[in-house]
Amino acid sequence: MELIDTHCHLTFKQLIENVDALLQRSREANVTGWLTVGTDPEHNQRCVELAQSRKNMYAAVGIHPHEAKDAATSIFEDLKTLAKNNKVLAVGETGLDFHYEHSNVSDQKRVFLEQLKIAAELDKPVVIHSREAFNETMDVLDNCGLDLPDVVFHCFTGSAEEAKKILDAGFFVSFTGVVTFKNAQSVREAAKIVPLDRLMLETDCPYICPEPLRNKRPNEPAFMIHTANFLANLKNVSIDEFAQIVTDTSRNFFAMPELVSEP
């Protein structure tokens, strides 16, 4: 069995210090591929370097909506150059976050749109971060006038109704450990309606430990196995079948090469 953590932040301080031990624990938990996701120019660069030096690891590069206020026009040229690297499989995370509003709405929209243009031009999929901004995010995607590549809503915590809108638009849905939380019944209702060929898994580590580890320590890729088991159970399929389909979905979505076994 092999699973891919399609959204982790391995360059963040809590994780990078012990990254090789963490990857070994991940392999032992059958999470054998990783997409490490950048959020600003510095982390984008580090994500690419890390991915270049590790098997089965790939990167996404983007400007998180929290960082939008600092995004000068020149950074998009650099982002595009970096996104052409063969280890970079996606643009993101990018989108809108009205929960914290670390950056104002118009900056967030401008920076989101610039990244959609890069993704369309390079024909790489887009990793969307959308928090308390579902309708506005869909509006930008609907009205951007671009021939968009594949799109995934990462760390989906919305309702079944929102999940249906994402599916109807042809996009994908990615779930974190949030789906295991006791108070997340509406997220579970959403997970029930997302077919496995449109569903992906992620940790979003170092954040969001799944049950039963919630709040214990920084999350890490190995812990995704709890989310996988939980969702396989919810979907009424064996974990092996679940892993096979969802890993195929993830590899196809990101055009990720076949995972290689470690020496």
What is the helix (H) or strand (E) element at residue 167, kind and residue range? helix 160-168
Judged by CB, which is closer to Zn ion: 54, or 131? Answer: 131
CA distances from 104 to 66, 68, 72, 126 (A): 9, 8, 14, 22
Taking CB under 5 A as the binding criterion, the range among 17-25, 27-35, 91-99, 173-181 that sits at the site for Zn ion is: 91-99
Judged by CB, which is closer to Zn ion: 156, or 230? Answer: 156
Provide, rounded to whole angstroms, the least separation between the CB of residue 237 and Zn ion: 27
The amino acid occupying position 248 is: D
Structure tokens at 71: 């995004």
Maximum separation of any 2 CA atoms in the chain, in Å: 49
Q: How far apart (Å, rounded) are the C-alpha atoms in residues 185 and 216?
A: 22
Taking CB under 5 A as the binding criterion, the range among 83-91, 161-169, 202-210, 243-251 that sits at the site for Zn ion is: 202-210
Contact letters for Zn ion, residues 160-199 (x by CB under 5 A): ----------------------------------------
CB 250 within 8 A of CB 200: yes
Q: What are phi and psi of 133, to 5 degrees?
A: -150, 30
Provide, rounded to whole angstroms, the least separation between the CB of residue 81 and Zn ion: 22
Taking CB under 5 A as the binding criterion, the range among 67-75, 76-84, 126-134, 226-234 that sits at the site for Zn ion is: 126-134
Share in percent of the chain as helix, strand, coil (round to 5):
50, 15, 35
Q: How far apart (Å, rounded) are the C-alpha atoms in residues 145 and 227?
A: 36
- # chain residues binding Zn ion, by CB under 5 A: 3
Q: Does 251 bind Zn ion (CB under 5 A)?
A: no
Provide, rounded to whole angstroms, the least separation between the CB of residue 208 and Zn ion: 9
Provide, rounded to whole angstroms, the least separation between the CB of residue 241 and Zn ion: 28
Using CB under 5 A, which of 80, 124, 129, 198 touches Zn ion? 129
- Three-state SS for 175? strand
Judged by CB, which is closer to Zn ion: 5, or 204? Answer: 204
State the residues that interact with Zn ion by CB under 5 A. 93, 129, 204
